[in-house]
Amino acid sequence: MVKEKPASARDYADYLCKLFGTAEDGDFRVSRGVTFQITGDCTLRCSYCYENHKSCQSMTLETGKKIIDYILDLYEKDDGNFICKKTKGIVLDFIGGEPLLQAELIEKICDYFIAECWRKHIPIAPFSRISFATNGQLWFTPEAQHLFRKYHDMMSVTVSIDGVKELHDAFRVDKNGIGSFDTAYRAFQDGKKYGWYNSKMTFVPGSIQYIMPSIKMMVAEGCEVINCNFAYEPNYTRDDAAQIYSELRNLSNWLIETRCFSYISILEADIGTPNDPADDRNYCGGTGNMLAFAPDGKAYPCIRYAPISIGEEKASKVCFGDCHNGLYSTEQQRKVKEELDSITLTSQSTDECIHCPVARGCGWCSGYNYELYGTANKRYTGICYAHKARVLSACYYQNKRCLEIGDVEPKKIYLPQKEAEEIIGAELSEELFSLEKKAEEKEERIRGDSGR
Ligand code: SF4
Ligand code: SF4
């Protein structure tokens, strides 16, 4: 049976909501993410990195402790909407630059968090997680190894591998322009002993031709959950969409031929339906669901709004305060928070997106919207063609799999055939819609047989 979105592929917040039965009422206070940007520096110079304002500034342990104090105070006061006594666990997310430049600091902040939870009788440590993504270049340093040995049971670590070596080395280079794949790959192999098979690949127009070999590589590595997606920032063209469909169609054929049961997020079954009018939430967490602290202790909605990403001037307008003097203590800080909290799917979207027949799963980044337009309440839609091609590919995969293996249900194509034709051409569109019809007929036959 092909893997449904398994627990390990879910957001940890989503997982805790399900565990504590608050998923239906959308109460995400059960689990909150707090980001510690512990350094502004990095060992690599990846060409697509959105952090365009790196520095050598690092967080001090004193600041890290203040942030923990702030979080635990929120819990004890129990009068806010972010962390309160309904909170069962926190994801302590460490980010850089490269977080392992400060492995010792991560360890000390975690030590302090656990000791303070214990001392104050705050029962959230057992359900809390330590999480980060690393480029793997400092994996084997004594500090990093010490951290892994001590906390691996409560850690979720992703070594960022973009895909096959040729692709990875084209983008992820060091200061001298040398590719970083070999070191990252060794780190990834070593992380497997802790069960860290996590992968997250992000594709852009220049890397579409690597999607299939990269996913095949991760399947061969034993990854059962392969998270991969398209970057939000580029403006994808119709030609990109045709190429995406061709690549994902070939990948689908290979997955079916080899009877592969891995979960591949890019071909997920539940994307590509219209918006649910009853659910108007803003799915990007960067509008009030998270908090990110910069090395100096200043707080932002997420790292995408922090100075390392968008520069000091723009970031200062969305700063919530700091861990030394308090958050939301000025009129301006409260106003920013209120504005971000009020953003919904419809408030930021055009009519075309609100009524789009395949809207579900079409994402955005509120931080990038803010960087681009000066407001997070206006959605950038450069991903449109990539999303539509992804939806058509998911329909191809699910319907073909339904017919040939029979372990998934038919998937309805919500995009009008004429529009599909414009993207993938008449012949492939004909094939796609005929697969949908055959898969539905098969399903009806099965239903008829079992009803007899
Ligand atoms: S490793 Fe990460 S932070 Fe460093 S340059 Fe690459 S994408 Fe940016
Ligand atoms: S960006 Fe395009 S695919 Fe996404 S919701 Fe808007 S119209 Fe639909």
Mutate to test the pocket of ligand 1, among 53, 134, 135, 139 (most ligand atoms within 8 A of CB): 135
Q: How many residues in the chain?
A: 452
Distance (Å) from CA 217 to ligand 1 centroid: 22
Closest to 84 (Cα-Cα) out of 74, 92, 93: 74
| ipTM associated with this complex | 0.84
pLDDT-flagged residues of the chain (< 50)? 8-9
Ligand 1 interacting residues, C-beta cut-off 6 A: 42, 44-46, 49, 51, 96-98, 135, 172
pLDDT in tens, 425-447: 999 999 999 999 999 999 999 88
Domain ranges in the chain are 1-194+288-342, 199-283+350-452
Task: Locate the ligand 1 atom nearest the alpha carbon of residue 48 and give its number.
Answer: 7
Expressed in angstroms and rounded, the spacing between residue 159 Cα and the centre of ligand 1 is: 12
> Which atom of ligand 2 lies at the shortest distance from residue 381's CA?
1
Q: Which long-range contacts (CB under 8 A, 24 or more apart) does 307-313 make?
A: 307/53, 308/37, 308/40, 308/51, 308/53, 308/54, 308/55, 308/97, 309/50, 309/51, 309/52, 309/53, 309/367, 309/371, 310/52, 310/53, 310/367, 310/370, 310/371, 311/52, 311/53, 312/53
Question: How confident is the model at residue 9, as a pLDDT?
Answer: 45
Structure confidence at residue 30 (pLDDT) = 84
Residues 6+ apart with CB under 8 A from 174: 43, 44, 45, 137, 180
Dist. CA 266–CA 393, nearest whole Å = 9
CATH 3.40.710.10 at 1-194+288-342, yes or no: no
What tens digit of pLDDT does each residue of 254-272 get?
999 999 999 999 999 999 9
Q: Which pLDDT value is given to residue 81?
A: 81
CA distance 105 to 340: 31
Distance from the alpha carbon of residue 53 to the mean position of ligand 1, in angstroms: 12
How many CB atoms lie under 10 A from the CB of residue 108? 15
- Rounded to the nearest whole angstrom, what is the distance from the C-alpha of residue 160 to the centroid of ligand 1? 9
Q: Report the amino acid identity of residue 436.
A: E
CA of 393 from ligand 2 middle (Å) equals 16
pLDDT score for 2 = 53
